Every structure is written in C-alpha cells, then in structure tokens.
Amino acid sequence: MSEPTPDSTQVDLVVVGLGPGAEPLATGAAEAGLRVVAVDKHLVGGECPYYGCVPSKMMLRAADSLAEARRVSELAGEVQVVPSWAPLAERISAEATSGWDDQVAVERLEAAGVAFHHGVGRLDGPGRVVVELPDGSTRAYEAARGVVLNPGTRPAELPIEGLAGTPYWTNRDAVQVTSLPGSLVVIGGGPIGAEMAQVFQRFGVRVTLLEAGPRILGPDEPEASQVLEEVFVGEGMRVMTGVEITSVGHADGGFEVALGSGDSLHADRLLLAAGRTPNLDDIGLETVGLDPAARTVEVDERMRAGDRLWVIGDVTGKGAFTHVAMYQSAIALRDITGQEGAPAQYHAVPHATFTDPEVAGVGMTEQQARDAGLRVRVGTAPMESSSRGWLHGPGGRGLVKVVEDADRGVLVGATAMGPSGGEVIGFLAVAVHAEVPVATLRSMIYAYPTFHRTIETALGDLEEAS
C-alpha cells in the first residue's frame, strides 16, 4: 500500500457523488461502523429526485390526467379541460424537490454518522480523494477501505452549428418551468425526449419531436416504437425521424432549427434530450490508471473497478436507471462491509418509459437475441385485442412481445406496452430473471380480464410460430 499523504485525514471510506445509490451506501457503511466521508458537488440524491425520475413522473401524472379527462367524451359524458401548469409546478417545487434543496438528505446522512461536504471530489491515487470545497480550499482523505465513485451523467452537448450559444433547455430546465411556451422543439426521441414531448403536448404546447435515428425509443422493440409514434401523432404531435439538424439559431425570442432536408422549424423553446455525457472527465481516473475519456468504467460483479475502488450507477454502463444504481449500491455495500451476497447479474434488467402507453422491457430484444446467436422464437399480441384492452377503449393501445431462446425453452426478453406496461413487465421480469420454462408459463392461470392476460396470448403466438 502507498504511503499516506502527510496532511490527509485518515478515514475508512470516501464516497464521491451521491446519486440515488450512493446515499444509502454511505449511510449503510457508517451504520456498519466505518468512518465515512461523502462528497457531492450539487444535490444529495443526484439527478433522479431533483431533475429526473421524480419530477418527470409528476409531470407525466399531470399530463395523463388531462388525457384521461379528454377521453370522458368517448366514455362518460362531457368535461371541460383547461390545462394549468401552476399546480404541477407547485407540486414539483414544494413536494418533490423542496425548492431544489437537499437539506433533508444531508441531515439524513449526518444523522447516520456520515461526514458530508458539498464540494468536488477527485481521486488522487488509490484510496485517496482530494475535495475542493466551495470556498476554494481543499481537504485530502486517505481511505483505508477505499473509495466509491457515483458521479452520474450530464446532458450531452451536440456539436450542431449555433446551438451552444442559445438558451436551450435540458431536463434540468424542463422540470423547473413555471410558464408554458406556445411551441417546443424536442431534440432526441429517447426516454427523456419522448416523456417530455408528451407532457408538453398534452398541456397544449405545439411539440415537434426530432429523432436522428430511424425511430423513437430506438433500443426498444420496433413494434413498440411504431405504436408510440402513432399515438403521439394522433395527439397532434409532429414526429420526425431520420432527421439531420444542420444548425440552430435563436433570435427575437424564438428558435430556428435548420434540417438537412432543407426544411426549417420555428419554436418558442428548444429542449435538448439527445443522450448523456458521463461525469468521468474530471474525477481523477488517470491517477488510478483508468481512462478519463472513457464513456464507462468497467466493474466486476462486486462493483470493483480497481485497488480499493468501487463504481456504481450510470457510468458502469449496465443500464442508466435508478433501480440499477440501487441494486449496485447494495452489492458494493455488502462487499465493502464484508457481507456475503449474490454477485451482480444483468440478464434481466427491466425498464419502463412512462409515456402513455407505457413502454416497458426486460432482457434482450429480438434483435439482440439474434445477434447473440440464439435460436429465437418470438410471440406478439396487441393489447387492444385483449378483453381488457378492448373494454378499456381510448388509451388502450399496446402490445406484449416475448423473445424465447428456443433451445433452452426460456424467455430471454420481453416487452410490455400499454396503460400499465411498467407493471405488467414485473411478471415478465420474473420469467426472464428466474428462467422460468415457457412450458410452465403456458400452464399458468391468468386472471380475467387483466392487461397481463396479453402475455398468455403472446406465449400462444410463440407456439404457432414454431
């Protein structure tokens, strides 16, 4: 082991970056008796509670309520729907984020015995961290047990001519909106772009969604992308795929977006949701022999990335989701505190994009399974053809798709899209995680009339396709 830095403070564990996984990790380590120092340069809890999952799902809840109210005319009479952003802005500020203040989270850490700094943490060799405090002073720590990195990501900047100088929004701005624009261009048809586009469209903003790839939600099954695009267009959104944006300008309070096709779009606001950049470039990775220009840090099944170094969260490249960060946090904590436990495995990572209908998936897509060299059988069933989907009526579109490794007779992936796609996927996540034989899944009883009965139909389709 290298010599301690002369003026460094000796502790057991330093945690740099407090995303949703690192917070319970730091608390758990302190409760296990370790001397823990934790550092975050912004808000304890990370992107999810303040700018990500939580406020965006509050936005979707509000937007869904508007859509459901508009469906009354087809189902139950008349209501007049007059959208107002104010209750939502108030809910996000007061209930979700405490006005983007992490005092409660800091107090929770300190009550557990964690020494916390708001500051920038950087590795300074194995087991060492230097913290730059807001007043410019620094503190050096030598951590006997080691260091945990959970630095997360930031919105990717695109090298589009003119864009950098404009007052475009990212997710951080979109969740803090207090008054609505008349029109909005959203760049990026991934989960952030799709969720945000639908929220603003349902609140009456004229939204244009621009996606460079051939379809929105590109990593999901193509059938799901197609249904979602049709729903978006049906709600009045303009969706353009395969676009090339050649320049962006801002003048007279509005944006002008020039496309490779020669078309030009005008909008009051522009939201950039075109992917994320890992916060790995300025965290001292080079001092421990790792590449600061890499997009991910390679970790083993205990989240170890090197000598006395654990890394968790989006930067591990195992799925940029809060539930993955939390899962990894528990594994790293067990390893750090010497407890037994199952190693990390990622064959059944679920996800849900909370558009309406929700698009949820687990494991591999059909294409991924084919690319992995498996003998693949797929089964697909539309949600709206099921009893529940049909009687649900407006808003009932969706599908279930199952992907089988035919040689082993187990599902390796599945998609559940529909009004409760994020809940239906739970069933399929068990099937993929535990490798439940397809024969067993087909011998079960599925409650009538549920959305999840569509799984039974999709499994039947699998049989017909064999």
Ligand X SMILES: Cc1cc2nc3c(=O)[nH]c(=O)nc-3n(C[C@H](O)[C@H](O)[C@H](O)COP(=O)(O)OP(=O)(O)OC[C@H]3O[C@@H](n4cnc5c(N)ncnc54)[C@H](O)[C@@H]3O)c2cc1C
Phi, psi angle pair for 107, to nearest 5°? -65, -35
Residue at shortest CB range from ligand NAD: 190
Chain positions 339 to 368 lying near ligand X, rule: CB under 6 A, are 354
- Binding site partner of 203, from ligand NAD, ligand X, none, Cβ cut-off 5-8 A by kind: none
- Binding site partner of 420, from ligand X, ligand NAD, none, Cβ cut-off 5-8 A by kind: none
- The residues with which 378 forms a beta bridge, in sequence order, are 403
Within 10 A of 393 (CB to CB), how many other CB atoms are there?
11
Q: Considering CB under 6 A, how many residues would be counted as binding ligand NAD? A: 26
> Binder to ligand X among 14, 15, 18, 216 (CB under 6 A)?
18
Q: How far apart are CA 239 and CA 230, in angstroms?
A: 9
Helix (H) or strand (E) holding 2: none
Tell me the per-residue interface mask from 222 to 241 with ligand NAD, x by CB under 6 A, - otherwise. Answer: --------------------
Q: Which position has the token pair 């990775």?
A: 285
- Binding site partner of 193, from ligand NAD, ligand X, none, Cβ cut-off 5-8 A by kind: ligand NAD
> Binder to ligand NAD among 20, 121, 151, 193 (CB under 6 A)?
193
- Gap between the terminal Cα atoms of the chain: 59
Chain positions 153 to 192 lying near ligand NAD, rule: CB under 6 A, are 158, 187-192
- Binding site partner of 336, from ligand X, ligand NAD, none, Cβ cut-off 5-8 A by kind: none
Phi, psi angle pair for 196, to nearest 5°? -65, -40
- The residues with which 184 forms a beta bridge, in sequence order, are 207, 269
- Provide the minimum distance between the beta carbon of 342 and ligand NAD in the complex, in angstroms, as a whole number: 23
Amino acid at 108: R
* Residue pair 421/398 in contact by the 8 Å Cβ criterion: yes
Residue 62 binds to ligand X (criterion: CB under 6 A): no
Chain positions 364 to 403 lying near ligand X, rule: CB under 6 A, are none
> Binder to ligand X among 27, 150, 415, 454 (CB under 6 A)?
150
Residue 118 binds to ligand X (criterion: CB under 6 A): no
Residue 331 binds to ligand X (criterion: CB under 6 A): no
Nearer to ligand NAD, 156 or 406 (CB): 156
C-alpha dihedral over 322, 327, 329, 332, to 10 degrees? Answer: -150
Helix (H) or strand (E) holding 103: helix 103-111
Phi, psi angle pair for 71, to nearest 5°? -80, -10
Q: Among residues 334, 329, 314, which one has the least CA distance to residue 148?
A: 329
- Binding site partner of 212, from ligand NAD, ligand X, none, Cβ cut-off 5-8 A by kind: ligand NAD
> Binder to ligand X among 12, 14, 15, 19 (CB under 6 A)?
19
- Provide the minimum distance between the beta carbon of 251 and ligand X in the complex, in angstroms, as a whole number: 28
> Binder to ligand X among 41, 70, 91, 304 (CB under 6 A)?
41
- Provide the minimum distance between the beta carbon of 224 and ligand X in the complex, in angstroms, as a whole number: 16
Residue 169 binds to ligand X (criterion: CB under 6 A): no
Q: How far apart are CA 191 and CA 237, in angstroms?
A: 16
> Binder to ligand X among 29, 160, 210, 320 (CB under 6 A)?
320
Nearer to ligand X, 42 or 91 (CB): 42
- Provide the minimum distance between the beta carbon of 63 and ligand NAD in the complex, in angstroms, as a whole number: 14
SS3 content of the chain, % helix, strand, coil (to 5): 35, 25, 40
Tell me the per-residue interface mask from 256 to 285 with ligand X, x by CB under 6 A, - otherwise. Answer: -----------------------x---x--
User: Which tokens in the block code for residue 39?
Assistant: 């550092």
Residue 353 binds to ligand NAD (criterion: CB under 6 A): yes
Chain positions 269 to 288 lying near ligand NAD, rule: CB under 6 A, are 273-276
Q: Which position has the token pair 């934790």?
A: 38
Segment contacting ligand X by CB under 6 A, of 17-25, 69-77, 237-245, 361-369: 17-25
- Provide the minimum distance between the beta carbon of 123 and ligand X in the complex, in angstroms, as a whole number: 9
Residue 367 Cα distances to 372, 373, 399, 427, 433, angstroms: 9, 10, 17, 22, 19
Q: How far apart are CA 164 and CA 155, in angstroms?
A: 13
* Residue pair 418/393 in contact by the 8 Å Cβ criterion: no
Residue 21 binds to ligand X (criterion: CB under 6 A): yes
- The residues with which 338 forms a beta bridge, in sequence order, are none
